[in-house]
Structure 1
C-alpha cells in the first residue's frame, strides 16, 4: 500500500515544544502503535500525519512524496477519531458515502463501495439505519468504514476504542487487526493502553515528552525495555533500590552479580519472573493475595519496608503474614533512566520450611 516517513518533526504550542525532532519510518502494510502517557505527543503526531496540525519543523512523506503542507482532504490518509465524529442526521450509508460524494463519484459506484465497506466491518444490511440507533461499537465500525471506503494509503486511528467497555474493545481490536491484515493497509494507531498496543502492533513506539523512548516489536518492548521509563510503563515491574559494590548488589534478598560501576541501582523484576517458596528467616511476608483465576498476584512486604508483586500459579496457597523466600530468573539493572545490564539473579536468603 504505502510507506510513511516522518523526518525530524517538531511541533510547538505557545512556545512549548510538544514534539521534539521526531523521526520514524512505517513500512508498507505495517501496523505501528504510538503509546505513551497523556501529554506525550502521540495524538499530535497522528494529527500532523493526517494534516490537522502543521509541524513547525521537519517533513512528512508518503511513498516518498512530501505531504507536509497538503490539506487533510487531499492527503491519501483516512482518520478515525475517538469520538466517532458521525453525523446523527444521516443514515449509516450516508455517513460512509459522504467522502465519496465530495469526490463526485457516480451514485451506482458510491452504493457499491458503501456496501463493500459496511460488509468489511460487519455491518452489512445496516445502511438505512440512523446513527443514534446503533451501539457504541457499531458506531465505531461505521467510522472505520467511512475511513476505509476512501481507499486511503495510510489509516490513522486516534484511540478509537477508548470510550468502549473492555470486552467490546477487545473484540473490536481483533476485528480491526483482521481487517488491516486482509487489506494490507499501512496503519498508525494511537493508544494509551499497553494491552491494546501489545495485542495489535507489529511495532510499538513509546513516546515521552514529545520524544521517542524506544521502538520495538511487542515482545522486545516487554522483555527488553531499554530505559527505566519503558520498563515501568509497559506491563507491571518491580523496582528494588540497592547499591552495587564490587560487582555485587547489597539487596537483602537478591544477590545480583554484574560488571557495572559501583553505586546506586534499581533491580527491575517482572512479577512472572519471581517464584515464591514457603520459608523462615527471610523477613519477607505475604501482604495480600489476589486471585485472577488464571493466576494469583501476591503482594510481598520486604524487610526493608518495600513491597513487590509476584505472579503465582492458581493452585498455589499463600496466606497474609506467611513468611516466604523469593527466587528470580531474570533482572535488569537501571541507574537513573539508563539500563546497565541484564543478569540472572541468585536468591540470597532462603531457609525453606
Structure 2
C-alpha cells in the first residue's frame, strides 16, 4: 500500500506563495495529474514531494510516515524530469544500475532488475548503447526506467513529454499509463496539457496561483467545472459575459432562460453543446466554417464582436455571413467565481 498525504502545505519565496495551504490525498495505485498554467505551483509542489524543495509549512507523508524534511535519496519516491537528466558518459545499463549499486545489491540482482525494467519500457537489448545515441523518446523511456528500477512507492513525473513532438507524446503517455496500471504504482503527474491530463488521470487537480480550483475525475472536470477558470482552462469553452434580469440571461445577440437572481453572470457553453439553426433575422452571423472531416467547427460573431464556437457534424450546411440563432443544449452559469446554475 502506497498512499501520499499532503496537508496544509505552503511554499513561500520571499513575499510570493508558490503553493498556498495545499491539501491532497493520492490513493494506493492512483494516477493523479496536477494541471494548471505556468506559475500555478504544480512543479514546486512536486519538487517538495520529491524532497528537492522544503515546505515553508505543512506536512507530507507516505504511508503514514512523515517525509516533509527527509532528503530525496532517503524518500521512497522516484522522479522523472522534463530534461531526462541522464548521465551522458554512461551507457543505458550503467545509468539504470547506478542507484542499485549505491544500495549494494549483488551484481546478478542488478543485472536482472535492469534487464527487466528495460523490457518493461520497450528497450530490451539497449543496455550497451550510450544515451547520446538514443532518440528523445528513447531517452525519456530510460529516464522512466531509471526511476522504476528503484521500485519507488511514489512515482513523480514533471512534464516528462513537454520537449517531444505531439505524436510521440501521445504514444508515450499511453505507454506510461499502461506501465503504471500494470505496476499499480501510485503516481503524481505534472502537466500544463489538458489533453494529457484527460487521457492519463484517475483524478485531475486543477491548480491556480498555488491553490486548488477543482479536484475530480477527468469527465467531471470537463463536464462539470466548478469555477469559470476551470471552465475556460479545460477544453474549448465559450465564456459569455452578461446579466440576468427576470429569469433570463442576456448578452447582445444571445439570450437564454436562467432561473437565478438578477445580476451579472458568466455563461459557459461547450461548442459541442451549442446548437445553431438558420435564422434570417438573427444578429449573430457565421464568421468562418472549418471542416475537420469528422465534424466542423463554426465560428459565430455576435454584434458586439464576441466570437463563439459551435460544433456541427456537417460543414456543408453552413457558410460565412449566414445569420444563425444559438440554442445551448447544456450550459453552466457563474457569479463571483462560483457556480450559480448548471443545465444539462
Contact (CA 8 Å) 1:31, 1:186: kept in 2 or not?
Answer: yes
Q: TM-score, normalised by structure 2?
A: 0.97
Q: Distance in 1 between matches of 2:328 and 2:15?
A: 47
The structural deviation recorded for 1:37 is 0.4
Deviation string 1:266-323 (CA, Å, 9 cap, x unpaired) is 1110000012222210121111112223221111011232110011114543221112
Corresponding residue for residue 53 of structure 1: 53
Seen in structure 2, the aligned counterparts of structure 1 residues 15 and 252 have a Cα distance that, compared at 3 Å, is: closer
**Is it true that 1:187 corresponds to 2:191 in the alignment?**
no
Any idea what the Cα deviations from partners look like across 1:225-249, whole Å, max 9, x if unmatched? 0001000000111111221112222
CA positional deviation for 1:17 = 1.1
Tell me the distance in 2 between the aligned counterparts of 1:261 and 1:228.
18
Cα distance in 2 for residues equivalent to 1:316 and 1:34: 40
Q: How does 1:201-350 map to 2 (within 5 A)?
A: 201-314=201-314, 316-343=316-343
Deviates more, 1:315-324 or 1:61-70: 315-324
Conserved 8 A contact 1:256-1:343: no
- SS of 1:115 mapped into structure 2: helix
Task: Quote the residue 2:72 is aligned against.
Answer: 72
Shift of 1:253: 4.7
| Cα deviation, residue 252, structure 1 | 4.5
Q: Secondary structure at the match of 1:44?
A: helix
In the alignment, the residues of structure 1 paired with residue 272 and residue 262 of structure 2 have an alpha-carbon distance, to the nearest angstrom, of 28
Give the Cα separation in 1 of the matches to 2:7 and 2:156.
18
Contact 1:269 1:331 in 2 (8 A): yes
Farther-moved stretch of structure 1 (252-261 vs 212-221): 252-261
TM-score, normalised by the number of residues in structure 1 = 0.95
Aligned positions, number: 344
Q: For residues 316 and 21 of structure 2, what CA distance do their matches in structure 1 show?
A: 50
In structure 2, distance between residues paired with 1:131 and 1:185: 26
Correspondences of 1:38-49 after superposition (within 5 Å)? 38-49=38-49
In structure 2, the gaps of 5 or more residues are none
The answer for the alignment partner of 2:151 in structure 1 is 151
Structure 1: stretches of 5+ with no match in the other structure: 345-353
1:132-178 per-position Cα deviation (integer Å, ceiling 9, x unaligned): 11100000000000000000000000000000000000000000000
Q: What RMSD, in angstroms, separates the aligned Cα atoms of the two structures? A: 1.2
Corresponding position: 1:85 with 2:85? yes
